[in-house]
Amino acid sequence: MRTEDLSIAYGDKRAVKDVTIEVNSGEVLALIGPSGCGKTTLLRSLNRLVELTPAAKRTGRIILDDQSVDDFDVTQLRSRVGMLFQQPNPFPMSIFDNVAYGLRERGSKKPRKKILEPIVVDALEQAGLWDEVSSNLSHPALALSGGQQQR
């Protein structure tokens, strides 16, 4: 993924100015800087989350696999370019329902709990949470610790 002369402004306030970076598959990039310098805005632009802010205006290019992110269906793009927020924000529902949410919302047919259960168990096992939450799947996800919510 790369950016070319990327600038983002909120009204008259420029948050990101003429940023050109390239991150190849398998590379890790650290963005460091003081609060308010545009790190989050830059990251939110990569999967077009910045577009959800009405006053935001982006110029420059963002390229993923030699294709402009503007040419991607936004849902497809966000499934490939995700963000892990510093502060987790689970939905105000059960642990099970939070894990199953994407599957339930993805298609026109809503899968039954019987179909979802093994998928939810597998996801929780992969996240290293199953042993910690298996007996509390109906409890609110907001009751989990911050680290558990993030996983």
CATH of domain 2-79: 3.40.50.300
Residues of the chain with CATH 3.40.50.300: 2-79
pLDDT tens readout for residues 54-112: 899 999 999 999 999 999 999 899 989 987 777 787 888 999 999 998 887 776 567 78
The helix/strand/coil state of 88 is coil
Query: Average of pLDDT values for 5-28?
Result: 95
pLDDT tens readout for residues 53-64: 889 999 999 999
Beta strand 56-64 pairing with 13-22: unpaired
Q: Using only C-alpha atoms, what is the Rg of the chain?
A: 18
Query: Model's pTM, two decimal places?
Result: 0.63
